[in-house]
Amino acid sequence: MSNAAYGLLGAPLAMAALPLFVQLPAYYATHLGVALAPLGGVLFAARLIDMLQDPLLGYLLDRAQAQRRRWMALGAAALALAFAALWLPPPAVAPGAWLALMLVLAYGAHSLVNIAYLSWGARLPSALGPVAWREGMGLAGMLAASLIPAAILAADAAQVRPRLGAYSIGYALLLLIAMFALLRHAPSPATSGDSGSGGNEVNSWRDTVREVAGNRALRLLLAPYFINALAVAIPATLALFYIDDQLGAPHLAGIFLACYFGAAACGLPVWTALARKLGPLKCWRLGMLLSVLGFCGAALLGTGDLLPYAAVCIAAGAALGADLALPPVLLAAALGERLGPGTGFGLFTLLGKLALALAGLSLPLLAWLGYQPGAGGGTHLLLAYAVLPCLLKLLAIATLRSPT
């Protein structure tokens, strides 16, 4: 059960990540009245700050392995507070300003805990086993985060705030239990001195930059990872707008998200097993191709096409399992002996959050093109939500190459 003790933290981390990247933009636009253009600007700025801090956090965590547990506990406490604050802005404060401030705090705390958590897993003896538990629990957390907030926000307006408060308390308790399981019962990660590297890890920021620049296997992963992350981030930002205005089914948003993440949870062990036979690189290509096939269908849908969209969610969700499980395995193999996992995962999270920052700009772009939430979908929303991600996925497939 040691892998389970390690993997449990994936659930609350994912439960925080889903609102940050998917639900809060629509919540602040439709429930709190923040216009799309300033909302997109806030998302872009907060995600840009979040992106820039990740390599530094990864580097510092590699240098301070003895204090990793303490920093993870402090980061978890800050994350629990920021999570509640994002759902419950004070009535007297402008919601846009509050969102900007709390997003910076939430992103920073989440990054600190997540990078340390990923580095912990990378230093465990097996790669695929801990990753499967972590991502499986993460998908369980995403399922909970898909259904519970959607049910709360669909309730009577007078009940929304107290129920969001109870949800935030429940989240804090889950995060506390998961952190306790990790710190007390998960296997301890190897340190630099006993990881088999012979003490050859780099010891300065300049050495780290030079080592990354000279690592061909790592460099070959960065472009396809970023392009694929952008292809995932754009529809994640626009999903609730698409469900509300293109399909006319806001009451089913939680069900569609649950189909998506449920399919990812079911697909995760399949991709993990398939990677052992075909290799993670080939499996990742197949996963991206499956995602393209799914999103092509989304471009053809309109009001009332609920079952076809559920099929799209299942296909795209199954493909998401490959995006979750396989890039970390490829990264761990590409790092070599001298680069620490904190540095490597800091680079990956930097690129992922750069993609999220750029995806936030899709909101002011759509506003400039004439789209307004609640006024129906249209060509521009379809192109942004479905067609553009397909093109980006195909580009990621074309740029993904073997280092040998």
What is the Cα–Cα distance from 21 to 17, expressed in whole angstroms?
A: 6
Q: Answer yes or no: are the C-beta atoms of 139 and 82 closer than 8 Å.
A: no
Three-class DSSP category at 195: coil
Between CA 253 and CA 264, with CA 258 as vertex, the angle to 5 degrees is 135
Q: What single letter denotes the amino acid at residue 227?
A: I
Quick check: is 199 in a domain? no
Quick check: is 45 in a domain? yes
What is the Cα–Cα distance from 62 to 202, expressed in whole angstroms?
A: 10
Three-class DSSP category at 94: coil
The DSSP-derived string for 5-55 is: HHHTTHHHHHHHHHIIIIIHHHHHHHTS---HHHHHHHHHHHHHHHHHHHH
Quick check: is 191 in a domain? no
Quick check: is 194 in a domain? no
Quick check: is 391 in a domain? yes
Quick check: is 198 in a domain? no
Q: What single letter denotes the amino acid at residue 301?
A: L
Quick check: is 193 in a domain? no
Quick check: is 97 in a domain? yes
Phi, psi of 198 (to 5 degrees): 70, 20
What is the Cα–Cα distance from 338 to 214, expressed in whole angstroms?
A: 11
The CATH number that applies at residue 277 is 1.20.1250.20
pLDDT at 282: 92
Token pair for residue 393?
């996925």
Q: Which residue ranges of the chain lie beneath pLDDT 50?
A: 193-200, 202
The DSSP-derived string for 358-381 is: HHHTHHHHHHHTT--TTS---HHH
Could you tell me the CA-to-CA distances from 89 to 101, 103, 106 in Å, in that order? 11, 12, 14
Domain containing 178: what range? 2-185+204-399
Number of domains in the chain: 1
- Number of other residues whose CB lies within 10 A of the CB of residue 303: 12
